[in-house]
Structure 1
Amino acid sequence: MPSQKPIKVALLGCGTVGTEVVRLLVDQADDLTARVGAPVELAGIAVRKPNKHREVPADLLTTDAAALVASDVDVVVEVIGGIEPARTLLLDALRAGKSVVTANKALLAEHSGELSAAADASGADLYFEASVAGAIPLLRPLRESLAGDRITRVMGIVNGTTNFILSGMDSTGAGYAEALEEATRLGYAEADPTADVDGFDAASKAAILASLAFHSRVTAADVHREGIASVSAADIAAARALGRTVKLLAICERVTEGDQESVSVRVHPAMIPRSHPLAGVSGAFNAVFVEADAAGEMMFYGQGAGGAPTASAVLGDLVAVARNLVQGGRGPRESAYAALPVRPMGQTPTRYHISLDVADRAGVLSQVAAVFAEHDVSIAAVRQEGRVDDASLVVVTHAATDAALRSTVDKIGGLPVVREVVSVMRVEGEET
């Protein structure tokens, strides 16, 4: 092996992912040395409570993360999560010329521009493959393999908890509360599942995906976000009756209007046809469907969370960073030259599946259809089932702006012949 001084690594955090990072560094030490061209040495691990990490050598543990970052280390690996103190620690590392590997989606979705600027100023590397979709190699293909192509759309399932819940509802007929309880019991949902079920986790990942795909800075605040708590067993059944299933989707797309381009970034539940590649993604797995001008359609699939899968992505980034240090190279820099504006959700073309409880008498359909026509929303399909005193009416629309569709639904809800707007859900993955 070449005579090369060790690459010293500081690890911030030693929870589920951090513990696996330590294990892989130890178990694969010889292989990592061969792949990098130098030994990769763990110099220290910053934790809050050292006595809770008996599986890690005590001499590596410290509660002073700032001192560890400031010490004689080459790479800082961050798996703490959250904004602070992670932001300050990583900025300190980058400004000191130390490369950073992070799995922190929330931080990147808010401060990737600031972190990238610090990396550029000092010549350090910033890698973050593990921040989206766990072990799935996704960000590097967007950032490097497809750098010569024009990506038009990225649509995917990027949160395992919500996919497990919706898959359970689809396969068993269970309601949302029951499926969430099962996910919690099996460890797929946290005791407080808000970040997952309300779409915050997926929104952060969508911001990162859009930034890379469209060479524009997109933050979590730019992402339209809806969760899955309002998805009912009736919604799932309605989707099944139409040959569809319901998924929480992160959708990032390039929208062209005239000679103006913008970016639409949104997270919401949607019906997709069962023939779509994403429809068969079940349980806690993730999958992302990418469309590009030259490459066409691609799908990336695998385990999107968990200690070992996420640690695998972290180690992949660490090897890349260490090789750059050994060989004197640099990784890819931030590409935000396009600076495309983010399109408001109200101006984004969408389709709707609308279920109505209506009076079962003549003229109901014509009144409902008149409202759609008034708002210039074209109807793609209608299904009506009569009962003794009332009826169920399902309308599926063609694409129209989200604002027009929502105004249509609001006005329909006020019609005397409409007893209730039972559910409203977007439709994706079909020709418009």
Structure 2
Amino acid sequence: MASKETAKKEDDRPVVLSVQHVAKSFRLPTEQATGLKMAFLNWTKGVSGFTEQKVLRDISFEVKQGDFFGIVGRNGSGKSTLLKIISGIYVPNKGTVTVNGKLVSFIELGVGFNPELTGRENVYLNGALLGFTRDEIDAMYDDIVDFAELGDFMDQKLKNYSSGMQVRLAFSVAIKAQGDILVLDEVLAVGDEAFQRKCDDFFAQIKKDPTKTVILVTHSMDAVKKYCNNAILIKDGEIIASGNKDDVADRYTLENLRQEKKEQKKNTGENDGEDQPEHPLGLSDTVPVLAVRPTREPLCTIDGGFDFEVEYDYRGDKPFYVALALHDLRRGGLPYGDSFDLTQRGHRTVHFHLPMDLFNNGDFRLVASMHTWDGSHPSTAEMIAFTSEKNCCDFSLRDNKGKDNFALINKVSMSYQSLDEQLATRQHPVEEQ
């Protein structure tokens, strides 16, 4: 009953941003005319002098008051163009954008700052560019300085600031500006660790304010899952996923894995011509095939684990086995490995399951190598094949139970135990609502 009332209450919230059927394209020059004569000749030849690049195609979504709304996508997908249209910097070729409330846009750090002016003067200059009156800037000035931790430097010229100090001041102006809608583009990784913790606390507070709305563009899926309540994924100028933040974040990770695999295949493809090798890297006449592939989507959960297969073709006559190694792409290192004796020669496929109960969220790579040995002692083993980047398998773990990024092993599976419970009991942190 409570969940239905909450859902109804959320549905009653007013829409503060409505984007309907927005499309945007740019003209890219292809023929340079150095004068009227050349321009006329190009025209008579039917040369237009430009090509049309479609950046956004029929984008539609709504953001309600109190939302922490995420916009994600690979570089070049059209995210920044969309934010500039929302902010009024660009005008769409088609469609409409309706904003209800005061919108503060922070698309690039330091835009509108003058290095010859003091920090204080730059605060007032930037605030004026954002549309605030002097009285409004006076009211928020102390909060901006306190947040940036630059009280002793505000009367110095900006050109004497370090890059980190400039970033802190610019970011503080944006997030402390008392607007109804805050638009942020790739600005979560600013400042040092202490300043990032302060920003984290700020976003946790703003999430609790039902009158404030945040639109966040980021490549950090951890940030999307942590802060946002809704999100959209843009690919090639179109929305391909929208709604639940976790589903959108996982879809983005999956799209990245697919794209990276395509690029690997393209970069490691066989060469044309006489110099083309007889076998790909790591393979030979004895083992012309060895590959690790996912048998499901390369995005798994802790409980579900990861399923994959090893395809091989062994044409030798000695006893042989396959060794599997798991590489941690995010943290580095080799957290796990195992080996299996293979009983059948020729072209075969073996299916495997890898439990992920102990692991936190991360990105991993499975590689395989094939060895022969006489069966008596490991020292007799000889590696005869291995998987290159083209034939290995990348996958990711995304699970709410594995969000602790400070360690590889999650706290659900393993934790410290107090042997003196009368002196120390485990702390139970307040879970996120």
The TM-score, its normalising length taken from structure 2, stands at 0.36
The TM-score, its normalising length taken from structure 1, stands at 0.37
Which has the larger helix fraction? 1
Q: Greater relative contact order (Cα 8 A, min sep 6): structure 1 or 2?
A: 1
**Which of the pair has more CA radius of gyration?**
2
